[in-house]
Amino acid sequence: MKIREVMTPAPVTVASTDMVTAAANAMKEQGIGATPVVTDDRLTGILTDRDIAVRVLAEGRDPASTRTGDVCSTELVSIGMDDDIEDAIRLIREHAVRRVPVIAEDVLVGIVSISDLVLARDERSALADVSAAPPNT
């Protein structure tokens, strides 16, 4: 099975100059746990809900005046649309991440998460049920 079949296409992104509040709004509105961060349409980072807790709130920074580009992770692992889902599972294991951006010719085209992969492999697992529900806890 290919990445393109299980990925979430056209993910919502934030600009690296946007404030963290904008990313938090996107996470809430879209029911997602991470937003890719782009600079001039190129993927330059990824920011998760946990990053906001740990790197912004725990540090006493004001999310309304902190840029996403200053707190996102920039050591990016990415994958291609036509790679196999096993490649994504390997990357997720090696790098201990929960999601991997999908890139085509330097442009962000999707994002693939552990949940997407587990849903693809076992639609009836406990994780599949939880991942199919909106994130809340």
Partner 1 sequence: MERKIRDVMSPEPIGVYYDQTIADAARVMRDADVGALLVVHGQELVGVVTDRDLVVRGVAEDMKPADLVGPLCSGDLVGVNADDDTGEAIRVIRENAVRRLPVIEDGQIAGMVSLGDLAIAHDAQSPLAVVSRAGPR
Supply the minimum distance, in Å, between the C-beta of residue 120 and partner 1: 11
Q: Which position among 80, 87, 120, 135 is part of the footprint of partner 1 (CB under 8 A)?
A: 135
Is residue 74 packed enough to be buried (19+ CB in 10 Å), middle (13-18) or exposed (0-12)?
exposed
Q: Which is nearer to partner 1, 41 or 125 (CB)?
A: 125
Supply the minimum distance, in Å, between the C-beta of residue 19 and partner 1: 10
8 A C-beta contact, residue 47 and residue 111: no
Q: Which is nearer to partner 1, 17 or 41 (CB)?
A: 17
Supply the minimum distance, in Å, between the C-beta of residue 107 and partner 1: 26
Q: How is 26-94 classified by DSSP, letter by letter? A: HHHHHT-SEEEEEETTEEEEEEEHHHIIIIIITTT--TTSSBHHHHSB-----EETTSBHHHHHHHHHH
Q: Which is nearer to partner 1, 4 or 61 (CB)?
A: 61
Q: How far is residue 9 from each of residues 22, 61, 110, 120, measured CA to CA in Å?
A: 20, 32, 4, 15
Q: Does 89 bind partner 1 (CB under 8 A)?
A: yes
Q: Does 49 bind partner 1 (CB under 8 A)?
A: yes
Total residues contacting partner 1 by CB under 8 A comes to: 38
> Comparing C-alpha atoms, which of 56, 68, 66 is closest to residue 13?
68
Q: Which residues bind partner 1 (CB under 8 A)?
A: 20-21, 24-25, 27-28, 33, 48-50, 52-54, 56-58, 60-64, 89, 92-93, 96-98, 114, 117-118, 126-127, 129-130, 133, 135-137
